[in-house]
Structure 1
Amino acid sequence: MQTDARVGVVEGGGSPHKLVTRPVQHHRSQIGAVSQLIAGGVAGAVSKTCTAPLARLTILFQVQGMHSDVATLKKASIWREATRIVNEEGFRAFWKGNLVTIAHRLPYSSISFYAFERYKNLLQLMPGVGIHEPNFATDVFVRLAGGGLAGITAASVTYPLDLVRTRLSAQTKVNYYRGIWHALCTISREEGIFGLYKGLGACLLGVGPNLAISFSVYDTARSFWQLQRPDDSTVMVSLACGSLSGIASSTVSFPLDLVRRRMQLEGVGGRARVYKTGVFGTFRHIIQAEGLRGLYRGILPEYYKVVPSIGIVFMTFEKLKQVLTDIQI
């Protein structure tokens, strides 16, 4: 296995050994690619379904400042909002928008996991990075850059579904959008095709550091853990390292995520626009109206969600990839 891996990296040369092993490595890389795509997509869908109630609470808290007064915001709490959802919308409303979440997460997770591995391989071929003399600094750089590029790629491709998910989840008493297709058509008709990409700038600003921190913290923590305690359960390692990476990435990127949500809901159903000056203008408006704490509105349910969510993603991904690789899918 070790020999094949080195053969796959070194270019040129006429050694018969290299010529014989190159197709084997290519076949293995193809198997790995398919496994990563399937495992990544399923892992994302499972995680999002398990944590959908907390995800909806996070979104509802994030957008409260758009049309609520200060007194209402001060009274808001997780228990109060959860009780309101059950009383007014029913228990199933906790999963409102979950179908589009899965529709978004399947391709998003597949693309991000697959792209992360591909970007890592490309970055390792850069002059000065070199895989033959790895060190901690270059490893961190590769993981940060690979995670950031993977996040930007996945977010750009799947963004319209993310916007629809936000709008469906933010609906409370009145259902302006009846479903995924109706939302896509209505937004395109009323706001134009570019309406499907509202808040993309904030998304790309946030998703790069988010996935960069998430992947690099996870990869680094897992490598260190396995080096110190190689006999520990893969499930336990994935769960612990995934949870740690989720807390770190959410803390850093949450303000941009909140700005993205607010911008995604601009002009819904003919409402007056609140934020008219882009990403930085939205930041300024929130700070002036709600203070710095306003940028972290909804961070508590996000923390409650992120530990099981990220943990389940990485745990499911690792186990599925192992199973799929074993059966050569």
Structure 2
Amino acid sequence: MVGYNPASEEAPITAKEAAAAGSAAGMVTRAMISPLDVIKIRFQLQIEKVSRDSPSGKYRGMWQAWHCILTEEGFSSFWKGHVPAQLLSICYGAVQFASFEFLTELVHKNTTYHSQAPGVHLVCGGLAACSATVVCQPLDTLRTRFAAQGEPKIYPKLRKAVPMMYRKEGLCTFYRGLTPTLVAVFPYAGLQFFSYRVLKRLMGPEHTEAKGNIQSIICGGGAGVISKTITYPLDLFKKRLQVGGFEEARMHFGQVRTYQGFFDCALQMAKEEGPLAFFKGLSPSLLKAALSTGFTFFWYETVINVLSTLKDQH
């Protein structure tokens, strides 16, 4: 049901319905995958030479990192930055899905392309994600800072972090990493929607609601893995840039670096840490991407179906 469907007998999805379903999908999914996100961010920010033979650094594997964080910081640390992360997910889901439904409907009404074509989903999904990124980037920066800090905390609460960051680093700090984010988010989200549509077609029609729900999770998970693998280095660069000016809170985890921009970050990493460093934290990231994308599409379509049923009853 993702995307405007002119062949459907049901009323088209409105922007408000898409926003409500996207928000709900983002909120529930975020609560489920937060521990994997924290582990992924810790790997992405770790400065060390990457070698297949002798891994170094504080975190050397997903399960070792899990145990280390649990022992040193407690179970609740896996939800560090959860408040800004939840705000990010709710806001991002609302803007992304509302924009996507609007754009696919626009394509259907003003072009000869079919709104359910994978290519249309590729372009509309990418553009929708870019619009959501611009709106939600400050929340993403806050989420990264909270997940990155150790003990004792530099930012104890969200309401204190915002004025502290503004006074010390200025308004532009909330948009650190925006360039690699926009460069990455268009192909990432576009490939998500594209792969999801292709995989749904390959799996065949949905004859029952239960089969449709299973298809949403499987196809969404596959789409998440495909898109994340292709665009992963750009997400890593974004995280490195977002913690610039935040070196004090990072000392506990080892070496820190300051980067002047997107290309400087890529060059320094390649020189100091090797090309394999571009894929730090890939394992937890792929697991997170599979679960996150699968459950996002599942919850989105579930909420849309509920809203459509309620609308039909009235």
Verify: 1:86 aligned to 2:64, yes or no: no
- Higher Cα Rg: structure 1 or 2? 1
Q: Determine the structure 2 residue equivalent to 1:152.
A: 130
SS at match of 1:73: coil
Matching of residues 67-82 of structure 1 within 5 Å: 68=48, 72-73=56-57, 76-82=60-66
Residue equivalent to 2:93: 109
Residues 136-215 of structure 1 mapped to structure 2, 5 A cutoff = 139-215=117-193
For residue 300 of structure 1, give the secondary structure of its aligned residue in structure 2. helix
1:94-131 residue CA offsets vs partner (Å, 9 max, x unmatched):
111112111111010111111111112223345xx414
Corresponding position of 2:42: 60
Q: Where does residue 51 of structure 1 map in the other structure?
A: 33
Match of 1:262 in 2: 240
Inter-partner Cα distance in structure 2 for 1:270 and 1:308? 33
**Alignment match, 1:315:** 298
Contact persistence 1:275–1:281 (CA under 8 A): no
Q: How many angstroms apart in 2 are the aligned matches of 1:265 and 1:177?
A: 13
Task: State the one-letter code of the partner of 2:71.
Answer: N
Pick closer, same or farther for the CA change 1:270–1:59 going to 2, 3 Å: closer
- Preserved CA contact (<8 Å) 1:104 1:161: yes
Could you tell me how far apart the structure 2 residues matched to 1:216 and 1:285 are? 33
Rounded Cα–Cα distance in structure 2 between residues aligned with 1:215 and 1:140: 8
**Alignment CA distance shift 1:236-1:262 (3 Å):** same
Q: Cα distance 1:69–1:179, how it changes in 2: closer, same or farther (>3 A)?
A: farther
Find the residue that maps to 2:259 and give its secondary structure. coil
Q: For 1:6 and 1:288, how far apart are their aligned partners in 2?
A: 52
Q: Give the distance between the partners of 1:79 and 1:169, measured in 2 at CA.
A: 18
Unaligned runs of 5+ in 2: 250-254
- The Cα offsets for residues 34-58 of structure 1, whole Å up to 9 and x where unpaired, read as 2211111111111111111111000
* Residues 60 and 262 of structure 1: CA distance in aligned 2, closer, same or farther (over 3 Å): same
C-alpha displacement of 1:87: 1.1
The structure with the greater share of residues assigned to helix is 1
Q: Distance in 1 between matches of 2:247 and 2:60?
A: 24
SS of the equivalent of 2:189 reads helix
> What is the count of residue pairs matched by the alignment?
297
* Aligned residue identity for 2:221: S
Match of 1:37 in 2: 19
The answer to whether the 8 A contact 1:59-1:169 is kept is yes
Q: If the length of structure 1 is used for normalisation, what is the TM-score?
A: 0.83
Shift of 1:270: 5.8
The CA deviation string for residues 170-214 of structure 1, in whole angstroms up to 9 with x for no partner, is 011221011222121111111100111011001111111110000
Matching residue's letter, 1:42 = A
Alignment-derived partner of residue 287 in structure 2: 304
The unaligned stretches of length 5 or more in structure 1 are 8-24
CA RMSD for the aligned pairs? 2.6
Contact 1:275 1:285 in 2 (8 A): no
CA contact (8 A) 2:15 2:102 kept: no
Distance 1:322 1:111 in 2: 19
Does structure 2 conserve the Cα–Cα contact (< 8 Å) formed by 1:32 and 1:325? no
Q: Distance in 2 between matches of 1:268 and 1:204?
A: 22
